[in-house]
Amino acid sequence: MAALKSPTVAVVVPRLVARLCPAAFSRTSLAFPLVPAHFSGLRPSCDRPAHPSVPASKSGFSTMSPSRVKAVLTADVGLTKPSEGIVPQIAITATESHVTEWKGDVVVIGVFEGGFGKDVNGIFEDSALKKLDDALGGIFGEIVVEEDFTGKAGQTSSARVSGHGFKRVGFVGLGKPKSASSKTWKSLGESIATIAKPAQAKSVAVLIANPPELSSEAKVSAASTVSLGTILGLFEDTRFKAEGKKPLLEKLEIVGLGSGAAFDAKLDQTVKVTGGVILARQLVNAPPNVLLPSVLADEAENLTADYSDVLTVKILDEEACRKLKMGSYLGVSAASTNPPKFIHIQYKPPTGDVKTKLAIVGKGLTFDSGGYNLKTGPGCSIEIMKIDMGGAAAAIGAAKAIAEVKPLGVEVNFIVAACENMIGGGGMRPGDILTASNGKTIEVNNTDAEGRLTLADALVYACNLKVDKIVDLATLTGACIIALGNDIGGMFTPNDALAEELSSASQSAGEKLWRMPMEDSYWEMMKSSIADMVNTGGRPGGSITAALFLKQFVNEDVAWAHLDIAGPVWSNEKKSATGFAVATLLNWVVKQAQS
């Protein structure tokens, strides 16, 4: 990732338990022993966002089977042995019964701003809130007065109750009704998890007290997104801690939005999405002494074995990549003692013809030291450079989700050029010239702009598959974090139709993308006097010049978009991965299958 110098920037969870909880999934898998240094190759430069300095996480990676983990780690730095992953297993249903009829542990009530006015007798003027307050014996009214609860987004309160079929009631502010979006419903789900944990609740019902006018489709979507937020809010990656607690919540009932086949189908798909998001989180959280390029390739093989009806995988080693003349990618990997692994997972529908061929390309730097342009000083974020494979994690997580959903009529190719960017006598130097697999030459003026060099050969490979559309994802530039902050991904594409598709998919997923300009005149900064281009154009417009660089390796007849997810791939607040873009990618692929 290219860094700025200063400042730097009833439905039940299915097989996802098997993948992330090895105990529930004891399948023997191949062990990849550590291999000594390979050959000396070309090495690129600085392609990753500089995140604000964050203490190194101790979380790791255990989606692989215990036998393989042990085989790899006993020979590795630190002798780290991850424990079993603990994943929420929740039955989710949608019903239309009244909340007062529900029996369980906790009722969570989402409340929008407005409608809190009372008459002279202190009774709610809003009929829905009055009915709710009456049903709860006046507790809601007391909380409104005593805690100044107004329904503002993020407000929460809870209280014990008696005389009902449940023990505790929680209230969550949802903000202004006109501002309701997927983000609103996802936040409600996360608040449900926050309330349920300390209450040690095994069952929760959720109700929207004063919902805005919603279409039937919007109600289904809201139920889905609340469920997504709840499951992900409960998940904690404790594989590398001495002890981990299993989430107690077993049942979530969504009351009052509706019920029926449409709800059941959508909730089923939601659970499948969470499996992919959690896998992506675990991959990014994994420490670099555990998630080597070979281990990432191993995980790809395990994933395809789990879904062999629709997934296949091809792993190219260093020699195979040399034959394909991937000089740009191999330049980045040259200094590392851990050899590169080029991963190609292919999804094909179980039945019917393929009408559309897609490629999802994820940047896969399992660790980025910066190379000879070493990441140093405050804000360089070298301690969390394990996240530089966030694009690869999103791609592989999406592969899992798509393999679960099994959309028809579409082929999807997931491509990851996995490697490390290290320092060594045989490594790439500033001033070297690399030759990519499409014949274009690159003068390396910064070894810490390495991600784009690996993506260059990955994009050429994707185009050679004769796909119709390509989306690449990368923690590419600190400049994008400076421009958009930590919550929004940058979208770069010359194709308006593809931009609209991805925007729609991200909005449905509750994830934020913002289309950025691709100013062709900025290419002047990327010109070299002795090669076809340099690999970085400096600080001004850094995320734009990075996208223009990638464009040089995509065929003009292929619709292509680049997503710079340097900011949203990691939560500074939680010091953990987010799984960003998995849900967006699934929505996009499913839509392609339907069109």
Higher pLDDT among residues 494 and 24, named by residue: 494
Contact indicator for 452, 549 with CB cutoff of 8 Å: yes
Q: Verify cis geometry, omega within 30 degrees of 0, for the bond prior to 177.
A: no
CA neighbor of 479 nearest in space, from 525, 529, 433, 430: 525
CA pair distance 45, 477, nearest whole angstrom: 12
Higher pLDDT among residues 42 and 515, named by residue: 515
Average pLDDT along the chain: 87
CA neighbor of 405 nearest in space, from 234, 582, 579: 582
151-183 pLDDT, tens digit each: 999 999 999 988 888 999 999 999 999 989 999
Residue ranges of domains in the chain, CATH in brackets: 91-259 (3.40.220.10), 287-300+323-340+347-593 (3.40.630.10)
pLDDT over 90 at 17, yes or no: no
Task: Show the tokens assigned to 580.
Answer: 């960003």
Report helix angle 293-306 to 390-405, nearest 10: 10
Instruction: Please tell me the predicted confidence (pLDDT) of residue 82.
Output: 73
460-497 pLDDT, tens digit each: 999 999 999 999 999 999 999 999 999 999 999 999 99
308-321 pLDDT, tens digit each: 999 999 999 999 99
**Of 36-40, 110-114, 476-480, which gets the smallest average pLDDT?**
36-40
Higher pLDDT among residues 59 and 107, named by residue: 107
Give CA separation, 549 vs 112, 166, 195, 257, 398, in Å.
46, 58, 47, 47, 25
**pLDDT tier at 437, thresholds 50, 70, 90:** very high
Instruction: Please tell me the predicted confidence (pLDDT) of residue 121.
Output: 66
pLDDT over 50 at 11, yes or no: no
| Catalytic residue set | 375, 452
248 C-beta neighbours (distance < 10 Å), count: 15
pLDDT over 80 at 48, yes or no: no
pLDDT over 90 at 9, yes or no: no
* Spatial CB neighbours of 499, under 8 Å, sequence gap ≥ 6: 491, 493, 515, 561
Instruction: Please tell me the predicted confidence (pLDDT) of residue 122.
Output: 67
CA pair distance 402, 410, nearest whole angstrom: 11
Instruction: Please tell me the predicted confidence (pLDDT) of residue 4.
Output: 55
Strand bridging mode 410-421 / 341-347: antiparallel
120-139 pLDDT, tens digit each: 666 677 777 888 888 888 88
- Tell me which DSSP letter residue 426 carries: T
CA neighbor of 2 nearest in space, from 49, 65, 71, 42: 49
345-391 pLDDT, tens digit each: 999 999 999 999 999 999 999 999 999 999 998 889 999 999 999 99
**pLDDT tier at 330, thresholds 50, 70, 90:** very high
CA pair distance 192, 30, nearest whole angstrom: 40
Strand bridging mode 356-368 / 11-12: unpaired
Q: Where are the alpha helices (DSSP H) in 465-539?
A: 478-484, 496-509
| Number of residues assigned to the chain | 595
Instruction: Please tell me the predicted confidence (pLDDT) of residue 211.
Output: 86
**pLDDT tier at 76, thresholds 50, 70, 90:** low
294 C-beta neighbours (distance < 10 Å), count: 22
pLDDT over 70 at 56, yes or no: no
pTM for this predicted structure: 0.86
Which residue type, as a one-letter code, is found at position 61?
Answer: F
Instruction: Please tell me the predicted confidence (pLDDT) of residue 511.
Output: 94
Mean per-residue pLDDT for 38-66? 35
pLDDT over 80 at 337, yes or no: yes
pLDDT over 80 at 190, yes or no: yes
**pLDDT tier at 39, thresholds 50, 70, 90:** very low
Tell me how many degrees the CA angle 499-505-506 measures, rounded to the nearest 5. 90
CA pair distance 244, 238, nearest whole angstrom: 5
pLDDT over 80 at 32, yes or no: no
pLDDT over 70 at 27, yes or no: no
pLDDT over 70 at 34, yes or no: no
CA pair distance 377, 195, nearest whole angstrom: 40
3-state secondary structure of 220: helix
**pLDDT tier at 236, thresholds 50, 70, 90:** very high
- Tell me which DSSP letter residue 291 carries: S
Contact indicator for 105, 169 with CB cutoff of 8 Å: no
258-317 pLDDT, tens digit each: 999 999 999 999 999 999 999 999 999 999 999 999 999 999 999 999 999 999 999 999
Give CA separation, 179 vs 44, 48, 112, 113, 184, in Å.
45, 33, 10, 10, 8
Which residue(s) pair with 311 in the sheet?
Answer: 347
**Of 22-31, 184-193, 559-568, which gets the smallest average pLDDT?**
22-31
Contact indicator for 443, 425 with CB cutoff of 8 Å: no
**pLDDT tier at 566, thresholds 50, 70, 90:** very high
Contact indicator for 111, 207 with CB cutoff of 8 Å: no
